[in-house]
Structure 1
Amino acid sequence: MVLNINPENPQPRLIHRVVESLKQGGVIAYPTDTTYGIGCDIFNKKGVKKIYQIKHRDPRKPFSFICADLSDVANYAQVSNFAFKTMKRNLPGPYTFVLEATRMVPDLLTTRQKTVGIRIPDNPIALAIVRELGHPLVTTSANVSGEETFNDPSLIDESMGRMLDMVVDGGILLGDPSTVVSLIDDKAEVLRQGSGDTSWIHQL
């Protein structure tokens, strides 16, 4: 099912429909500020396991998730003054920041080292979904692991629609994946260069 949502002013009744699906364990494709993502409620084991199956992904490689804002991040990650200032300067934006997880994060979404990847994308639809849901949304690229990522919702529906409960159409995106930056031990280290500029790291 494809649901068209205004990318700049998401309609609350449509966001509500998306969130109702997520609360029932639904898995959706949705736009971010980089590429389309696949997601579910982080506290719904059925949804998380379904995403692992859709992606054909090794369960030892946990997914990142989207928070609504910086105050929300503190519930799920250890945020030092250094990490807070760094994230405040760059979020919302095309970055995934890796931090130490708190006990709030389900085991399926933490690494062996108990770290998590957290995003606050600059996308009104993604943020509206997370705010309405009341807690984070799993995020991973809209593709099977190792295969082409689709940024056209009609192509996502064509290739993966039968495996998803809903494709949220927020228009065609042209971005690269997010830039992944570790902030562990108060050191900024680029783990993957993507859409986000990293020249600021040398100024820290």
Structure 2
Amino acid sequence: MIDIQKETQNALEVIKNGGIILYPTDTVWGIGCDASNEEAVKKIFALKQREESKSMIVLVNGERMLYQVFNELPQVAWDIWDNSKKPTTLILDKPKNVAKNIIAEDNTLGVRMVSEEFCYKLMERMKRPLVSTSANISGEPTPKSFKEISPEIIKGVDYVVNLHHDKICDKPSTIIKLTLDSQVKIIRK
């Protein structure tokens, strides 16, 4: 049986040393690193062959971590998270305490609150948000399972989390952009 504590510790060691990991999320497989480590974020952009002008999202494991990244949130953010039937990423204004290269040009950042056990425990140990971007080369389809992840991605990360390799995901998260003045725009359903 695979030990989630051991996998969490292995991933934590890699992340602490500036590495990037391939890991299961509450949606699709993701490539991640410490959201405050600019050099690690650069490695992800290089691996994905993605323009640095395209921002990535971060995962948080609760309200305390969310407020490490944003001073204020529109009230409607809580309503959306409370009433969402599937994982939902919110793009919010004025992030702080994260690497500059994951913030969009309009000073926004996508964030998703997760309760998936591995991600939650890893962030609990990191005490920081986790970068999350789909495990594919930019422009290629998002893999729905571990088997669909390209060898280039698997070889390009510093650690592959040994959990949920048999899990199938049919969809990435919903993405909604929310401004501090409560304007709402649905980016992806």
**TM-score (ref. length: structure 2):** 0.88
Task: State the SS of the aligned residue for 2:154.
Answer: helix
SS at structure 2 position matched to 1:97: strand
Change (3 A) 1:155 1:175: closer
RMSD after superposition: 2.1
Indicate which of 150, 170, 183 corresponds to 1:175.
Answer: 170
Residue number in structure 2 paired with 1:84: 78
CA distance in 2, matches of 1:71, 1:133: 13
Are the aligned partners of 1:156 and 1:167 in contact in 2 as well (CA < 8 Å)?
no
User: 1:145-195, CA deviations, whole angstroms, 9 ceiling, x for partnerless residues?
Assistant: 1113223334437342221111113232222111101121213321112xx
Contact 2:58/2:112 (CA < 8 Å) preserved in 1? Answer: yes
**Which stretch of the first structure deviates more once superposed, 15-24 or 151-160?**
151-160
What does residue range 9-24 of structure 1 map to in structure 2 within 5 Å? 11-24=4-17
Q: State the partner residue of 1:192.
A: 188
Distance 1:22-1:161 versus aligned 2 partners, 3 A rule? same
Give me the whole-angstrom Cα distance separating, in 1, the residues matched to 2:150 and 2:114.
22
Matched-pair contact (CA < 8 Å) for 2:28–2:145: no
Task: Kindly state the Cα deviation for residue 139 of structure 1 after the two structures are TM-superposed.
Answer: 0.5
**Distance verdict in 2 for CA 1:166–1:85, change over 3 Å:** same
Matched residue, 1:137: 130
| 8 Å contact kept, 1:34–1:173 | no
State which of 58, 68, 71 in structure 2 corresponds to 1:65. Answer: 58
Paired-residue identity, %? 29
Letter matched to residue 150 of structure 1: P
State the alpha-carbon separation in 1 of the partners of residues 76 and 155 from structure 2.
43
Question: 1:101 deviation in Å?
Answer: 2.3
Q: Name the structure 1 match of 2:31.
A: 38
What residue ranges of structure 1 are gaps of 5+ in the alignment? 194-204
> Does the residue aligned with 2:139 lie in a helix, a strand or coil?
coil
Structure 2 unaligned blocks of 5 or more: none
**Does structure 2 retain, via aligned residues, the 8 Å contact 1:100–1:115?**
yes
- Superposition misfits of 4+ residues, deviation over 6 angstroms: none
Aligned to 1:202: none
1:10-53: per-residue Cα shift (whole Å, max 9, x none)?
62232111111111111111111211011011122221000000
Does structure 1 residue 29 correspond to structure 2 residue 25? no
C-alpha displacement of 1:102: 3.2
Aligned counterpart, 1:146: 139
Q: Does the 8 A contact of 1:65 with 1:136 survive in 2?
A: yes
**Which TM-score applies when normalising by structure 1?**
0.82
- Is the contact made by 2:26 and 2:87 (CA closer than 8 Å) also made in structure 1? yes
Matched AA of 2:187:
L
| Other-structure match for 1:123 | 116
